[in-house]
Amino acid sequence: MSRGIWCFLWLVVFVWGSRSVPSCPCQDPTLCVPIARHRDFEVYVFDIGGQNWKSYDWSQVTTVATFGKYDPELMCYAHSKGSRVVLKGDVLLKNIIDPKNRTDWITQQVDLAKTQFMDGINLDIEQEVIKGSPEYYALTALVEETVEAFHREIQGSQVTFDVAWSPKCVDIRCYNYTAIANACDFLFVMSYDEQSQIWTECVAGANAPYTWTLDGYDEYISMNIDPKKLVMGVPWYGYDYKCLNLSKDHKCTLHKVPFRGAPCSDAAGNQVAYRAMMKQINSSISGRLWDDQQKAPFYEYKDAEGIDHQVWYDDPESISLKAAYVQKLGLRGIGMWNGDLLDYSDDPIAEQQTEAMWKALRPSL
Ligand SMILES: *[C@@H]1O[C@H](CO)[C@@H](O)[C@H](O)[C@H]1NC(C)=O
Ligand SMILES: *[C@@H]1O[C@H](CO)[C@@H](O)[C@H](O)[C@H]1NC(C)=O
Ligand SMILES: *[C@@H]1O[C@H](CO)[C@@H](O)[C@H](O)[C@H]1NC(C)=O
Ligand SMILES: *[C@@H]1O[C@H](CO)[C@@H](O)[C@H](O)[C@H]1NC(C)=O
């Protein structure tokens, strides 16, 4: 055979071979081995992309759920710290009622995780589901089958599921919570957006009021869900509300934006990053105020058009109160939406604020 043909054959084998066995992007190839070690306490971080992950507090992080573009450098780095990196999983429930479609979707996710040397998946399915509907059963089956496939195909992998702050059909998410919790490694409880359905007076309130947050965990636990299956999610963002009327006693009336059957919701406001609020608060009219009933900070300002705004958020004080409850109830851990909302610049004030937010996750340390 001529040299040309040899070259061609070599190329075919090379291209075919490299497709079936993806090569490890890490300098140290052992870093492509999935993490099998289990940790007693989870610190679960959602990452939405970019380079901020380089500044996370890696002495705490145990899992990074990558909701941005896949970054092999992040995977290598996380593995070097013994931390997991997991996929985001979302699919239209009406398409996976069919068992074959469901299996196809799960197979795709496992293959993707394998080619990217990842350690599991976070199922973030926030769709409306009515109890007893075909979607209700399909969702439970989806979680059970995803866990089975991941655990079988990737040793030590982690499959988790995101739930609303309360299991009481919040946002019409009427799921079989007990079965889902039993099947997966743990639930990430999104203890935020708790004003997504305002049934009482249409006024601005805290993103994650203390007592509502704790009530949510009591409700999950009273359904016989093991506290070790619950990771508390805290917000690193707040809501900026335009007030129709702002009273002297800080009552900010909102225009009505309905959500999933409720007449009024936090959709009347805009979500704002902690780093943005920290830049604004010192120039606000009120400065930082504290609502002792909701145990949350807020502030008020006037915009360029003279309209009053009220901004509700969480800071180290409100977060450490909730984090103390994680220890008290013996939950599996804590995490946040999301890791990229802090100011990771080298500005000294920002550095201090960012460090305080990370520290608030483990108030007892
Ligand atoms: C299967 O999923 C696809 C989308 O991935 C969808 O178009 C199709 O309707 C689904 N089939 C069934 C039977 O649900
Ligand atoms: C939830 O799922 C479990 C396990 O599949 C089942 O035994 C139970 O009856 C379901 N509960 C409801 C309320 O559907
Ligand atoms: C706004 O609030 C004040 C009390 O602070 C009240 O007197 C006034 O009637 C309210 N205006 C509207 C439009 O609701
Ligand atoms: C805002 O004020 C507080 C308290 O006076 C201070 O500690 C903080 O550094 C200030 N923040 C900025 C961004 O200047």
179 Cβ closer than 6 Å to some ligand 2 atom: yes
* Helices of type H across the chain: 3-20, 72-80, 99-115, 134-153, 177-183, 210-222, 274-280, 316-329, 348-359
Of 42, 73, 126, 194, the catalytic one is 126
**HSE on the CB side for 173, CA within 13 Å?**
22
Query: Which of 247, 254, 255 to mutate for ligand 3's pocket (most ligand atoms within 8 Å of CB)?
Result: 247
Q: Whose CA is nearest to atom 14 of ligand 2?
A: 176
Q: Token digits for 60?
A: 């705490």
Q: What is the distance in A from the centroid of ligand 3 to the CA of 247?
A: 7
Give domain status of residue 191, yes or no: yes
Q: Whose CA is nearest to atom 2 of ligand 4?
A: 282
Please give the tally of structural domains in the chain. 1
Q: What is the reported pLDDT for 13?
A: 46
Give domain status of residue 344, yes or no: yes
**Ligand (nearest to CA of 299):** 4
| d(C-alpha 87, C-alpha 47), whole Å | 11
Q: What is the reported pLDDT for 20?
A: 59
Which residue has 């915009």 as its token pair? Answer: 303
* Beta-bridge mates of residue 245: 253
101 Cβ closer than 6 Å to some ligand 2 atom: no
**HSE on the CB side for 184, CA within 13 Å?**
28
Q: How far from 365 is each of 26, 323, 324, 357, 362, CA to CA, in Å? A: 33, 11, 11, 13, 6
* Domain containing residue 61: CATH number: 3.20.20.80
69 Cβ closer than 6 Å to some ligand 3 atom: no
**Ligand (nearest to CA of 249):** 3
176 Cβ closer than 6 Å to some ligand 2 atom: yes
Atom of ligand 4 nearest to the CA of 279: 13
Query: Which of 201, 203, 243, 245 to mutate for ligand 3's pocket (most ligand atoms within 8 Å of CB)?
Result: 245
Q: What is the reported pLDDT for 197?
A: 86
Query: Which of 281, 282, 317, 347 to mutate for ligand 4's pocket (most ligand atoms within 8 Å of CB)?
Result: 282
Indicate the DSSP class of residue 264: B
Q: Which residues line ligand 4 (CB under 6 A)?
A: 282, 349
Give domain status of residue 288, yes or no: no
Q: What is the pTM of this model?
A: 0.92
Give domain status of residue 203, yes or no: yes
Give domain status of residue 188, yes or no: yes
What is the span of the domain harbouring residue 142? 26-236+315-360
Give, rounded to a whole angstrom, the gap between the first and last alpha carbons of the chain.
70
- In b/e form, how buried is each residue of 93-112, taking b as 16+ CB within 10 angstroms? beebbeeeebeebbeebbee
Contact assessment for residue 153 and residue 109, using Cβ atoms and an 8 Å cutoff? no
* Beta-bridge mates of residue 86: 65
Atom of ligand 3 nearest to the CA of 248: 5
Give domain status of residue 291, yes or no: no
126 is catalytic: yes
Mean pLDDT by 10 residues, the chain (365 residues): 51 50 92 93 97 98 97 98 98 97 98 98 96 97 98 97 96 95 98 90 94 97 98 98 95 89 87 98 97 98 97 98 96 98 98 98 83
Give domain status of residue 3, yes or no: no
Q: Whose CA is nearest to atom 10 of ligand 3?
A: 245
